[in-house]
Amino acid sequence: MRALTHRSLANEKNPSGKHEETAETGDNERLEFLGDAVLGLVVAEALFEAHPEWHEGALTRVRAQLVSRQHMAEVATALGLGRYLRLSKGEDRSGLRNKGTVLSNSMEAVMGALFRDGGLEPVREFVCRWVMGEAAEHLAEELRSGAALGNYKSALQEQLQATGAGTPVYRVKSESGPDHRKRFIVEVRLKPAAGEPGTPLARGKGSTKKHAEQDAARMALERLAAKSALLPELDAELEFLPFAAQDEE
């Protein structure tokens, strides 16, 4: 119960802050601290065993992606963890249970609770199923291909600059939704020279501008890879990379 209890509820029940740490009154911040450490250990161990060919730098980069707040929030969302969080009435009305930071922190607290209740083995089983899985395979493939491990903006910029095609620039095309559930659509363009409008490469979407920019860069990289034969003449051929209709939705 404590792993799912946000500090707002603990403070609401005990505004003085002088309450005993029980399953009923305590919050999940101490378990979050423990879970963060246990999660990092278990993911590092799994990568170490699965990829004996990787050096320290590769192991560190992949682990960072797998234990990141973004990925842990995605895991929490896949599990539907938000609906079980115990929040104060005010924070519940504000939509806090859907915020990425709260979801990722709570997921780490659950990791801490699993460790306290059963040691490392249940944490290993959970991590293998929910934290690693396809995400780890995708990151391994990115590493093999030389991509920037989730940093699609850097990978796109490096690829375009290597061909002398120009510089990617990002523009927010639309913003919708309430504050706690924003939706951004961002367009990435190839800008060969100052003062020119540039050629559109792709559009991406996300709950933040940064996420939408990364998604746009990812889409652009996929389209450039599909048209790799055109890369030597990118600035002349990019009209053959139209937006997909669903990007506008």
Tens of pLDDT, residues 209-249: 887 888 898 888 888 877 654 444 444 444 434 444 344 44
Q: Which residue has the tokens 């504050």?
A: 179
Cα(125)–Cα(228) distance, integer angstroms? 40
pLDDT at 240: 39
Identify the top-confidence range among 39-43, 57-61, 70-74.
39-43
* The token pair that represents 149 in the structure block: 């491990």
In the CATH scheme, what is the code of domain 152-248? 3.30.160.20
Instruction: Report, as an integer, the average pLDDT of 174-200.
Output: 80
Contact, 198 vs 166, CB < 8 A?
yes
Question: By CB neighbour count within 10 A (0-12 exposed, 13-18 middle, 19+ buried), where does 131 fall?
Answer: buried
Which architecture does CATH list for 2-145? Orthogonal Bundle (1.10)
Instruction: Report, as an integer, the average pLDDT of 10-18.
Output: 58
Q: Where in the chain is the domain with CATH 1.10.1520.10?
A: 2-145
Active-site choice (27, 74, 91, 108): 108
Measuring CA to CA, which residue among 203, 193, 199, 190 is closest to residue 160? 190
Instruction: Report, as an integer, the average pLDDT of 37-58.
Output: 94
Residue 108's pLDDT band, with cuts at 50, 70 and 90, is: very high
Q: Is 108 a catalytic residue?
A: yes
Active-site choice (32, 36, 91, 215): 36
Residue 8 neighbours by CB distance under 10 Å = 20
Measuring CA to CA, which residue among 104, 113, 47 is closest to residue 72? 104
pLDDT at 36: 95
Q: Is 36 a catalytic residue?
A: yes
pLDDT at 147: 60
CA atoms within 13 A on the CB side of 106: 28
Q: Where in the chain is the domain with CATH 3.30.160.20?
A: 152-248
Over the stretch 88-99, which tens digit does the pLDDT of each residue have? 777 777 777 888
Instruction: Report, as an integer, the average pLDDT of 56-85.
Output: 89
Measuring CA to CA, which residue among 182, 185, 148, 183 is closest to residue 170? 185
* The token pair that represents 61 in the structure block: 């980069």
**Ordered DSSP codes for 63-81:** HHHHTSHHHHHHHHHHHTG
